[in-house]
Structure 1
Amino acid sequence: MGVCMEVLIVDWAHLKSVPAGQRDGLVEAAAFGPDDAYDYDLPPGWTWPDPTEARWWARYEFLDTMTSYKAHFWAGERWNDLRAFVDTPLRDALDQFSAPLFWDGYTYASQTSGFSPTVEPDACDWNSRLDVMLWLLPEEVAALHHFWGQVGPHLGSLREPFDRHLTEPIGWITDFTSFSRLITEWGDVVSQAAHRDWAVIGLRS
């Protein structure tokens, strides 16, 4: 069995106002459904709370990944092979923007110069029993949104080097369409959170 994850954007100011002992339950219910939910099999894309509930969270499931980490891992492998063929400004921006998307590693911080801030996910700062894979506070989301502004308009320019140099890719991400789609979806997650000054949380499921 592989690692699976659930991605949430959350109103960090609201969550901080909740007693620490109650936060785990709120986040867990948002990601996995209430304890009495018989079947919480949500469709890919965005899920927002019921209009009668407080809108302090939204859940995002990446398309065609079945919540699996494998797509993220293989996208990271594709970028690791591709980045040598990408011009420095775009490479540096995508290094930073993609680091949390590929979860562990791929920060490339030592290979950038004059490029800040470097975004490295923090650890969960409350005593949580949840298995947190990703923890980005609003200020880190804002930095990622800045990088997305540099990456998004030029993402299509990577198709030519991808097709030329990655001739026999393996794994879940085998073509430029799947590679760019995952990155664009991450851009949507970051943008939705940044526009609300919210945080991003990834939970192992």
Structure 2
Amino acid sequence: MGVCMEVLIVDWAHLKSVPAGQREEMVEEVAFGPDDAYDYNLPPGWTWPDPTQAQRWARYEFLDTMTSYKAHFWAGERWDELRSFVAAPQRDALDQFSAPLFWDGSTYASETSDFSPTVEPGTCDWASRLDVMLWLLPEEVAALQHFWGQVEPHLDSLREPFNRHLTGPIGWIQDFPSFSRLVTEWGDVVSQAARRNWAVIGLRS
């Protein structure tokens, strides 16, 4: 559970025009900094290219997670506990929207559930030296944006069932604000990518 992630949104139309070997170098430098960078410890939130450079990518670090996957795992665990207390339309929308966010933590997608994700992270066949955890093409991002439009207006309504039924503060997601913040941040990532028709990449570090 010590996995760290770097989340990028990228101009896929530009990236796919670049030879595969150069794509890896480009994505790697965006995520981890140039080879000669002494300290690439960027602050949480969005990092965009310098205004003088082409705006073809952005890096996002989820707040209060130190880039760790643990927060995503525990958010998936809390949603697994909560979802039976949520009305079906909202539950279905958040199931779909959160599936990539809680990747590998989607315990609700078990053999006892009829949940089937509409958007599943694909594989990247050109990044041989990068450990890609999440790969969403622009059309998949657009589908997630549709679900976010259904989730966002009603997200705060989950506060009451969360506080009533999830009493044990365990893991990294111990209360509703931390759960809601992570989901909302994912909404921002998806929205920023969708409005540009960009892809989303999650790299293991």
Give the TM-score taking structure 1 as reference length. Answer: 0.95
Q: Which moved more, 1:46-55 or 1:64-73?
A: 46-55
Deviation string for 1:164-190 (max 9, x for gaps)?
A: 000113000000000000000000000
RMSD: 1.5
Taking the aligned partners of 2:92 and 2:159, their CA distance within structure 1 comes to 17
How far off its partner does 1:91 sit?
0.4
Taking the aligned partners of 1:104 and 1:168, their CA distance within structure 2 comes to 22
The residue aligned with 1:130 is: 130
Taking the aligned partners of 1:133 and 1:58, their CA distance within structure 2 comes to 17
Which secondary structure does the structure 1 equivalent of 2:16 belong to? helix
Taking the aligned partners of 1:203 and 1:51, their CA distance within structure 2 comes to 25
Taking the aligned partners of 2:36 and 2:127, their CA distance within structure 1 comes to 25
Note the 1:74-113 alignment, pairs <5 A.
74-104=74-104, 106=106, 108=109, 111-112=114-115
Deviation string for 1:55-78 (max 9, x for gaps)?
A: 110000000000000000000000
The residue aligned with 1:17 is: 17
The residue aligned with 1:56 is: 56
Which secondary structure does the structure 1 equivalent of 2:157 belong to? helix
The residue aligned with 2:188 is: 188
Taking the aligned partners of 1:202 and 1:112, their CA distance within structure 2 comes to 23
Taking the aligned partners of 1:103 and 1:112, their CA distance within structure 2 comes to 14
How far off its partner does 1:105 sit?
5.1
Taking the aligned partners of 1:140 and 1:104, their CA distance within structure 2 comes to 18
Q: Which moved more, 1:126-135 or 1:90-99?
A: 126-135
Contact 1:78 1:169 in 2 (8 A): no
- Unaligned ranges ≥5, structure 1: none
Deviation string for 1:10-62 (max 9, x for gaps)?
A: 00000000011111000000001111111111000000011222211000000
Deviation string for 1:134-178 (max 9, x for gaps)?
A: 000000000000000000000000000000000113000000000
Percentage of pairs with the same residue:
83
The residue aligned with 1:41 is: 41
Give the 4+ runs in structure 1 shifted more than 6 A: none
Taking the aligned partners of 1:66 and 1:44, their CA distance within structure 2 comes to 8
Residue 76 of structure 2 aligns to which amino acid in structure 1? Answer: G
Taking the aligned partners of 2:31 and 2:89, their CA distance within structure 1 comes to 36
How many pairs are equivalent? Answer: 202
Taking the aligned partners of 1:52 and 1:36, their CA distance within structure 2 comes to 21
Residue 155 of structure 2 aligns to which amino acid in structure 1? Answer: L
- Unaligned ranges ≥5, structure 2: none
Relative to 1, partners in 2 of residues 1:178 and 1:136: Cα closer, same or farther, differing over 3 Å? same
Taking the aligned partners of 1:134 and 1:119, their CA distance within structure 2 comes to 11
